[in-house]
Amino acid sequence: MGRLSEAKTGYELWLDREDIPVSEGYGIADVTQIPRGEWQRTGGKGAYIQLEGMQGVTGMYVAEIPAGGFLKPERHLYQEVIYVLRGRGSTQVWSAVQRQLRASAAPCPDRCPISVRSVSGSRVRVRVALPVLEPL
């Protein structure tokens, strides 16, 4: 990918510290097929997606939740949208309502703790879209 500067942004340095794969390109044909690694922070497997032209605008990741398992609760300063790609999962938002998802999307409000879990006997894969908070 072409860059004006070789210096990494704060967001890219943070991605490096997350220590999971980052898939880059102009597009990804099937996000369920990108390599995922053990993700200590969430307790599942995951990978980030960096699309050319979206740097500093939005970030995405794919997470895999083990059968009957869940991702550790997180609290964000921004809204995110969770798409269930495979399996059956639910998004739990504390101080709001619990949303049951099946191959659908759920908007999650900012500043609320959020956890995603598998509600079936199979793994669940989700894609999450969120804004990137990059200083100008």
Q: What does the alpha-carbon distance between residue 125 and residue 105 come to, in Å, rounded to a whole number?
A: 12
Q: What does the alpha-carbon distance between residue 58 and residue 51 come to, in Å, rounded to a whole number?
A: 9
For 114, the 3-state DSSP assignment is strand
Domain 10-131 has CATH 3.40.50.1970: no
CB neighbours (10 Å) of residue 127?
Answer: 18
**115-130 pLDDT tens trace:** 677 776 667 666 666 6
Residues 6+ apart with CB under 8 A from 12: none
**48-103 pLDDT tens trace:** 998 888 776 778 888 888 888 888 888 776 777 777 888 877 777 665 455 544 44
Segments making up each domain of the chain, as ranges: 10-131
